[in-house]
Structure formats: C-alpha cells, structure tokens
Amino acid sequence: MHVAVVDEQEASLAGFTQILRRIAEIEPICFKKATEALHWLGGVDPIFIVINSTIADMAGVDFLRRMRLLPNRDVTPVIFTTANRDDRDLRRSAFDLNVYAYLEKPINPSEFLVHAMRIVDAARERADLHARLREVSMRGPVDRAAPDPTSTNASAPPAQTQTTPVTEAASMIDIMLQVAALHDRTIIDHQDLASKIATALGRELKLTPDELATLGEAARIYDIGKVGIPQRILEARQPATSADRVTIDTHPDAGARLLAGIENPVIRAARIIAQTHHERFDGSGYPRKLRGSQIPIMGRIVAVADALAALIRPRGDRAAHTLAQAMTLVEQGSGTAYDPTVVTAVRGALSEISRVVHEAQQGDAQAS
C-alpha cells in the first residue's frame, strides 16, 4: 500500500518515510515536485497523501486543488503539513479542500503516526468489507422476505427473485449494517427510522417509484461514517467539545470514502447522501458548504429526515422531543438549515411519519 509524500525539504521526506515504514505493508513514495506527484497520482491509488504547504514548483493548496480534480481523488485522505503557524486562511483553505488532518511543523511523530494508522486501519476495514460485498454479489441477493414456514403455501417452490440494483444493494447494505452494529447499535436504529421518514417525504414530493426505492435503501446507510467516531463521543452526556466536534464533522466524508468504488447505483446514491446530509440550505453546512440546489435532492430530504429522527430520540446530553416539538424545530430551520419545499412536505406526510415514529418508539420501549 502506497503513501505519497510531497514536500520540498529532504529532511521532511526522510522523517515521514521513517515514521511510515513503522506501519506494516506501507511503502512511502516521495516527491519534491508537485508536477511529478500529480503525474504519479494519475495512475496509482495511494492509501493517503502527505502534502506540505510549500512544494518546489507549486503551493500545497494549489496542488491539493488540482489533485482533487483527478478521477477518484476527491475523497483520498490528505494529511496537510505546514511551517506557517497560526495561518488561519491557510487552515481554512486546506479544510475547504477536505483534508483529513492539518499539522503544524515541527511535526509531533506520535500525532502523525496516530492519524496515519487511523487512515490505514480504515482502508483495511474498507478492503475487507468490499471483499465480503463481492462475495454477496457472486451469491446473488439475499431474500429478506422469506416465506413463513407455517403458511399453507410453505411447500410451494419459492418464487424466483429478480436481481435488480436495489435488491443487490440491499444485500450489501445488510452486511455493512452488521459491521456497523458491532460499533454502535443505535446508528442502525437511527438510520432505519430516518430512511422511513425520508421515504415518506419522497412520496409526498412525488419522487418516482424507482427513486423512492433507491432513496429507501440508500438512506439505510447514510450515517455509516460514524463507525469511525470513538464510542465515548457518541455516548457523551455533555455537549461535544470543540475537538470532539471536529471529529464528529468528519463522518460525512468518512462515509463517502467507505462507500466509494462500489459500482451500484443505490450505493452511489448512498455515498452522495452520506456526504451531503449535513450541508445546509443557506450554505453554512459541512463538509463542502453547498447551498440550495447544489445539494442533491436526496441529501436535502435526508437532512430533514435525519433531524426529525434524531430529535424524537433521547441523546446523552438531552431528553427526547415529541414529534410535534421536533417538527417545530425543523420548521424554524426552513430556508436556513433545510430546503423549504422538503420542510413543507413534512406536514403533508404527517400521517405516515407519525406511524413510523410510533413504531420506532414502541421498538425502543420493548428493547429497554
């Protein structure tokens, strides 16, 4: 597994190489010139990239901007380094270009190694997950609606299941959810409720049957990036600290990276939703500060569904809201946090939303 290191200083290249070779199966590839690195990146897919703010023939931010335009490099993890301490404009520019970490020189080797190991561990988990997904694709879709053995027709031969992008994706998503459940079962329950609310909103917004089927499955996995957030943060009983908030805010891009490279239209939709469900209608969201119609419609729908699903459940630092209270809070964000058209659809879909919320709350009560 390759790691590209782009830095004009020979000492820095040697230092990063020494640290990276402590990680099994990692081979650092060093570049002093941005043009050479960009050419190499056009044909090789590294685990991550280390970029310094100054390179021999280009500013680090300019290199990063050009690299993000290369095929499949929009979510490649980047550790950005700089000797320009306390340069807020540089920091902002780097994070606008989706860097994984921003480190000031002199680099703390332990801090750098921790970031590197997290990226490598995530890449290995993703490779393992994709291998399991390929196995499922070769076996065919899982029939999640198996006949009731007590039925009078139980002896009848099972009907042939037609493989479609949605059924194929459902099998993949089931495996991802099994993995996510090992980290935090509440992520699964939250996504399930948000998916049902999103489907109700999509129906009210007159999405086509194919679009509704895609949305319903894709929204079951949109928060998968949270498996990379430490359990102590997810279960915190106090509002998140600024440092923990930075960690939390990485989950849209983490989810997009996890879902990258799977050639299925539903999984591609899930990736888009994962990356855009925390964008805000007024452009103040994250990770890319998209606004209005720049945010894909499924991302705008799931943003509202995610908020409703989160508000009606208790969290470590607050009690649960009623559905009426949750709707009021969402309506207050119409035009700023949320698409006004989607917010209006909440009232139109209220009967279906009330039903799925009630079922979820009953399930929570039985589980407790």
Domain CATH for 114: 3.40.50.2300
Percent of the chain with pLDDT over 90: 50
The verdict on 347 and 291 lying in the same domain is yes
What is residue 351's predicted lDDT score, i.e. its pLDDT?
A: 95
Residue 192 inside a domain? The answer is yes
Q: What pLDDT does 138 receive?
A: 53
Domain annotation covers residue 260? yes
Asked if 265 and 342 sit in the same domain, the reply is yes
pLDDT in tens, 96-146: 888 888 999 999 999 999 889 888 887 776 676 666 655 554 554 444 443
Is the pLDDT assigned to residue 261 strictly greater than 80? no
Q: Same structural domain for residues 221 and 319?
A: yes
Judged against a pLDDT cut of 90, whether residue 349 lies above it is answered with yes
In a domain, 347, yes or no: yes
What is the count of structural domains for the chain? 2
Residues 215 and 299 reside in one and the same domain: yes
* pLDDT mean over 351-356: 95
Q: Is residue 278 part of a domain?
A: yes
Residue 4: HSE in the Cβ half-sphere, 13 Å Cα cutoff: 29
The closest of 172, 164, 173 to 223, measured between CA atoms, is 173
- pLDDT band at residue 157 using 50, 70 and 90 as cut-offs: very low
Whether 187 and 108 share a structural domain: no
Domain extent for 239: 164-367
Q: What is the structure's pLDDT at 231? A: 67
**Rounded to an integer, what distance in angstroms lies between the CA atom of residue 252 and that of residue 98?**
11
* pTM over the 0.85 mark: no
Q: Of 83, 118, 153, which residue is a domain's last?
A: 118
- The mean per-residue pLDDT over the stretch 146-171 comes to 53
Note whether 175 and 83 are same-domain residues: no
Both 300 and 220 in a single domain?
A: yes
Q: Mean pLDDT over residues 172-184, rounded?
A: 74
Q: Is residue 124 part of a domain?
A: no
DSSP-assigned letters across all residues of 277-294 = TT--TTS--SSS---GGG
pLDDT value, residue 224: 87
- By C-alpha distance, which of 113, 222, 139, 220 is closest to 174? 220
pLDDT per position as a tens digit, 186-223: 778 889 999 999 999 999 999 999 999 999 999 999 98
314, burial (CB in 10 Å: exposed 0-12, middle 13-18, buried 19+): exposed
Residues 80 and 179 in one domain: no
* 79 in any annotated domain: yes
Instruction: Tell me: do 196 and 105 sit in the same domain.
Output: no
**Residue 283: inside a domain, yes or no?**
yes
Looking at residue 208, the DSSP 8-state letter turns out to be: -
CA dihedral 69, 74, 62, 17 (to 10 degrees): -120
Q: What is the pLDDT of residue 1?
A: 83
Q: What is the mean pLDDT of residues 343-360?
A: 94
227, 293: one domain: yes
Cα dihedral sign, 152-153-156-157: negative
Q: Which of 62, 91, 118 is the last residue of a domain?
A: 118
Query: Tens digits of per-residue pLDDT, 26-49?
Result: 899 999 999 999 999 988 889 999
Whether 320 is in a domain gets the answer: yes
- Looking at residue 46, what is its pLDDT? 92
Q: Is the sign of the CA dihedral 118, 265, 188, 311 positive or negative?
A: positive
Clarify whether residues 171 and 311 are in a common domain. Answer: yes
Top-confidence residue, 248 or 215: 215
Q: In the listed set 83, 99, 118, which residue is the last one of a domain according to the structure? A: 118
Q: Which residues have a Cβ under 8 Å from the Cβ of 239 and sit 6 or more positions away?
A: 317
CATH number of the structural domain spanning residue 309: 1.10.3210.10
